[in-house]
Amino acid sequence: MRVLSISCVIFFTLSFTTVNGDDQPTPSAAAAATVERLTRQILSIDARFGVRGETAFAARHAAYAPLIDATHDLLFMARLTVRRQWHTFDPEQRTRFIDAFRELTITAYAARYRGLDGVRFASTEARSMPRGRVEIRTTLIDPADDDVRFSYVLHATDDGWRIVNITADGVSELALKRGQYSRVLVDGGAAALLERLAVEQAELRASAL
């Protein structure tokens, strides 16, 4: 597999109970539908646009932006990466950080998910978690690389079920970012963290051109 990111996920086959006694989707089915929407579009975007180049990257970025907004709780995820240090940000820094985190996430999808021929997901399961969350597990099968076990944690929002964390083989990208960003904040504060995100975004973009 040419591209693999903890913060991304591809198509898999769903096998959940779809309704409860009130003919409403169960939490597991509703959460799975969010992930299915994301993964289905990832394959579609990969099929429609080229692997490298400025034009291909711009097209993928434009396609991913509304998809990520509709499937991830980016505000929740952004705040989770800085946790207790969120209160040290002034209002402008909070807005800039959320915008930068969103741009970094979209750029990561556009830059990393390329060349997905032959990749598929097999076997899925859902598990209820504390605080009303749902975990969806699946295994990525890549004929050219090792299998990867993914776990997607979602919670319910006013707009539907949204992804709040993704792990690959037990490693959470948000946990990694928390450690990295905490050190940056201690050394240089919010301004330094904003610079760090800009550098990460630029490096991801350059890798796709």
2 lies in some domain: no
> Edge-to-edge strand order for the sheet containing 148-157?
120-128, 134-141, 148-157, 160-168, 171-172
The pLDDT value recorded for residue 140 is 75
Which residue segment(s) compose the domain that 104 sits in?
Answer: 27-207
55 lies in some domain: yes
Domain at 168, CATH number? 3.10.450.710
pLDDT beyond 70 at 9:
no
Q: Which residues of 138-173 are buried (b: 16+ CB within 10 A; e: fewer)?
A: bebbbeeeeebebbbbbbeeeeebbbbbbbbeeebb
CA 8 to chain CA centroid, Å, is: 5
- 95 in Cβ contact with 192 (< 8 Å): no
pLDDT beyond 70 at 40:
yes
Q: What is the CA radius of gyration of the chain?
A: 17
- 198 in Cβ contact with 101 (< 8 Å): no
**Could you read off the pLDDT of 167-201 as tens digits, one per residue?**
989 999 899 999 999 999 999 999 999 999 999 99
The pLDDT value recorded for residue 17 is 44
pLDDT averaged over the chain?
Answer: 86
202 lies in some domain: yes
139 lies in some domain: yes
What percentage of the chain reaches a pLDDT higher than 90? 58
Can you tell me which residue has the tokens 């630029």?
202
**Could you read off the pLDDT of 66-123 as tens digits, one per residue?**
999 999 999 999 999 999 899 999 999 999 999 999 999 999 999 998 888 888 877 6
84, 86, 99, 101, 189 from 89: Cα distances, Å: 10, 6, 14, 14, 8
The pLDDT value recorded for residue 181 is 95
Average pLDDT estimate for 3-10: 43
- 29 in Cβ contact with 16 (< 8 Å): yes
Whole-prediction pTM value?
0.86
Letter for the amino acid at 98?
I
- 155 in Cβ contact with 42 (< 8 Å): no
What percentage of the chain reaches a pLDDT higher than 70? 87
The pLDDT value recorded for residue 24 is 65
Average pLDDT estimate for 134-143: 84
| DSSP designation for 78 | H
124 lies in some domain: yes
169 lies in some domain: yes
1 lies in some domain: no
CA distance 128 to 46: 32
The pLDDT value recorded for residue 14 is 40
